[in-house]
């Protein structure tokens, strides 16, 4: 239950109001600390890792973060009711409010008053959000997306009239949806047309409205949809699902659903386009003598790479074709790793003496700042 959850800012070691950059940096640090690859079989570390991911999923999303800041866990938990329906796609309220407002949203209020409103009308385009892991973005996955969609009322089949009745032709406009208005102006008598106020431009009068949709013929429903996320998708990219938006009216086509993909940062890898970067620590002796080292790869595990003798910190090496596949296209990026030479710590006396002898062997060979031999 939400009451037992820790504060998301506390989970990431942040103060409320932390910036997006601070949230991202804190997530990378905590995810690396509790990553399952570093703690195999550790149930507590796995629990903390999941907790860190849950906190980042909320705080990295501007809409979810705003609801969480205002309502706490109840604002982002669809099973709790408080704040989740406060707009966007976070929830759904059964109260449509004023019937005129609902009609206005169905018919695209704000358009010309002369437009006929009983012709085919395309449904509204919708948006949804989905958050995936770095690995899921690299290799592709399937995710369930939940969103609100306007559809024809199943009780009245979209007519708006209660069972056993049907809409009647408006007597004021004779089903045209428009009426002529005569006005006296300084230029003389002028005739204009406008939407019929009796039927609100529909050409139909519903005397016995459907109780389920309140006579609108349309209802807002919570929908679940399994979506295929293509391999190689990047943070912020969108997926368009044609016809999965709100249904149209009067035979009009349905709108589209646009899904914005958010990708959690990885504890080790950083992405730039289709290339991937990471740091690989090496020992002092490996750097000096050269060695076959283990380099992490996206598929999991490691691969061997031979570094030459004399390798320095910040030296970059490239594994061709080990990056990310171009989304819906050809070509794969590279994995570029940077060596970080680790200075040995906690040396015993014997090891210190060996290093002193090595230092002495360099006498006469070392150079100063400007290329001069050290005296």
Name the more confident of 150 and 99. 150
Question: Which among 351, 369, 342, 233 has a CA at the least distance from the CA of 287?
Answer: 342
Q: Calculate mean pLDDT across residues 326-340.
A: 90
Q: Calculate mean pLDDT across residues 150-175.
A: 89
Q: 347 and 355 in contact (C-beta within 8 Å)?
A: yes
Tokens 């940062």 sit on residue: 265
Quote the CA–CA distance of 273 and 170 in Å, as a whole number: 59
Give the gyration radius of the chain's Cα atoms: 32
Q: How, if at all, do strands 188-195 and 178-185 pair? A: antiparallel
From 46-60, 170-184, 208-222, 360-374, the region with the lowest mean pLDDT:
360-374
Q: Calculate mean pLDDT across residues 26-51.
A: 82
Quote the CA–CA distance of 234 and 137 in Å, as a whole number: 7
In the chain, which ranges are continuous DSSP H helix? 8-11, 20-34, 43-59, 62-71, 99-106, 134-139, 284-289, 349-361
Q: Dihedral, CA atoms, 88, 93, 95, 101, nearest 10 degrees?
A: 10
The predicted structure's pLDDT at residue 281: 95
Q: Domain ranges in the chain?
A: 1-91, 122-154+218-264, 270-361
Q: Calculate mean pLDDT across residues 34-51.
A: 80
Residue 176 — left, alpha, or beta (φ > 0 → left; ψ -120 to 50 → alpha)? alpha
Mean pLDDT of the residues in the chain: 82
Residues β-bridged to residue 181: 192
Backbone angles phi, psi at 148, to 5 degrees: -100, 135
The predicted structure's pLDDT at residue 118: 62
The reply to whether domains 122-154+218-264 and 270-361 share a CATH topology is yes
Quote the CA–CA distance of 202 and 204 in Å, as a whole number: 5
Tell me the CATH number for domain 122-154+218-264.
Answer: 2.60.260.20
The predicted structure's pLDDT at residue 287: 95
57's tokens: 């999923």
Backbone angles phi, psi at 297, to 5 degrees: -125, 160
The predicted structure's pLDDT at residue 110: 38
Residue range 75-87, pLDDT digits in tens: 777 655 444 333 3
Local confidence band at 96 (pLDDT 50, 70, 90 cut-offs): very low
Residue 346 — left, alpha, or beta (φ > 0 → left; ψ -120 to 50 → alpha)? left
What kind of fold does domain 270-361 have according to CATH?
HSP40/DNAj peptide-binding domain (2.60.260)
CA angle 47, 48, 49 (to 5 degrees): 90
Q: Can you give 47-59 as a three-state secondary structure string?
A: HHHHHHHHHHHHH
What kind of fold does domain 1-91 have according to CATH?
Helix Hairpins (1.10.287)
Quick check: 1 pLDDT over 50?
no
Which DSSP state fits 301? Answer: S
Residues β-bridged to residue 341: 282
Q: What percent of the chain has pLDDT over 70?
A: 84
Quote the CA–CA distance of 234 and 327 in Å, as a whole number: 9
Residue range 226-239, pLDDT digits in tens: 999 999 999 999 99
Which DSSP state fits 325? Answer: B
Q: CA 335 → CA 249, 263, 277, 278, distances in Å?
A: 51, 19, 6, 8
């Amino acid at each position: 239950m939400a009451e037992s959850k820790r504060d998301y800012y506390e989970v990431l070691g942040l103060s409320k109001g932390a910036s997006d950059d601070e949230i991202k940096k804190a997530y990378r640090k905590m995810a690396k600390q509790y990553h399952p690859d570093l703690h195999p079989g550790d149930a507590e570390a796995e629990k903390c890792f999941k907790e860190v991911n849950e906190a980042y999923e909320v705080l990295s999303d501007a809409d979810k973060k705003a609801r969480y800041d205002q309502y706490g866990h109840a604002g982002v938990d669809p099973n709790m009711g408080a704040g989740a329906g406060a707009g966007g796609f976070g929830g759904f309220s059964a109260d449509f409010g004023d019937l005129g407002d609902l009609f206005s949203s169905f018919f695209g209020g704000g358009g010309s008053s002369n437009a006929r409103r009983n012709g085919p009308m395309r449904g509204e385009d919708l948006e949804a959000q989905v958050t995936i892991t770095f690995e899921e973005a690299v290799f592709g996955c399937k995710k369930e997306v939940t969103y609100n969609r306007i559809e024809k009322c199943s009780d009245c089949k979209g007519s708006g009239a209660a069972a056993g009745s049907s809409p009647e032709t408006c007597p004021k406009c004779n089903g045209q949806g428009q009426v002529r208005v005569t006005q006296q102006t300084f230029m003389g008598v002028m005739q204009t047309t406008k939407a019929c106020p009796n039927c609100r431009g529909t050409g139909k009068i519903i005397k016995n409205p459907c109780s389920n949709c309140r006579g609108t013929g349309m209802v807002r429903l919570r929908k679940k949809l399994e979506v295929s996320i293509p391999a190689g998708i990047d943070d912020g990219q969108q997926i368009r699902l044609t016809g999965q938006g709100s249904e149209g009216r009067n035979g009009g086509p349905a709108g589209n659903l646009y899904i914005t993909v958010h990708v959690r940062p990885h504890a080790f890898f950083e992405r730039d386009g289709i290339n991937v970067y990471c740091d690989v620590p090496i020992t002092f002796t490996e750097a000096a003598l050269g060695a076959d080292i283990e380099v992490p790869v996206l598929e999991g595990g490691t691969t061997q790479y031979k570094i030459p003798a004399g390798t320095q910190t910040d030296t970059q090496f490239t594994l061709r074709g080990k990056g990310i596949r171009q989304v819906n296209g050809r070509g794969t990026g590279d994995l570029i790793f940077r060596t970080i030479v680790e200075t040995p710590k906690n040396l015993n006396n014997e090891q210190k003496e060996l290093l002193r002898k090595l230092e002495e062997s360099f006498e006469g060979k070392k150079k100063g700042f400007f290329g001069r031999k050290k005296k």
